A = this chain, B = another copy of it.
């Protein structure tokens, strides 16, 4: 729904080719709006047809040959229009939380390993974000960078939350498994479900 606007933003920050965009989506923008190269190429085609962007004249239209895009005035207007409206954040869809809920019914086999795995992943992501903050946002500068830093701090806050929650969850599950070994077990209970 907002992929075109993500691309317009990225292209306004810096005109790029499809592959360069894909790379940037893997790094900065993709942290909060991911997209595959397929989506990006398809959307670039649509945006070009809509007259929002155009290929830089240097490149001929041939397959396998780099094609750089820049945003046209109509594209900037469209992004401005979109940014003036409301952005509804859709509800969470988190498979790990779903699995916890499932584990309450069919048993907790392997749950602690999975929690530990996620803990590692989120710690790594948090470290990456903090590295970016240290590198790119030393002293708060112009308004543009202060807004971008705000976005980064959302990422840091989210990862911090997950790391803390996962630690709490791990402690709880460990406690449950220990209790199941001594005491009697209820239905669907026990570490080897």
Q: Which A residues form the contact surface with B (CB < 8 A)?
A: 1-2, 5-6, 8-9, 12-13, 29-34, 76, 79-80, 82-84, 86-111, 114, 117-118, 142-148, 150-151, 153-155, 157-158, 161, 164-165, 168-169, 172-173, 176, 179-180, 186, 188-189, 193
CB pair A9–B89 under 8 Å, yes or no, is no
CB pair A104–B147 under 8 Å, yes or no, is yes
DSSP class of A's interface residues: helix, strand, loop or mixed?
Answer: helix
CB pair A83–B109 under 8 Å, yes or no, is yes
> Which B residue sits closest to A35, measured CB to CB?
B93
CB pair A93–B32 under 8 Å, yes or no, is yes
A110 to B84, CA, bound (A): 6
Taking the full assembly, how many copies of this chain does it contain?
A: 2
CB pair B98–A2 under 8 Å, yes or no, is yes
A118 to B86, CA, bound (A): 10
CB pair A105–B144 under 8 Å, yes or no, is yes
Residues on the B chain within 8 Å of A93, using CB: 32-34, 90
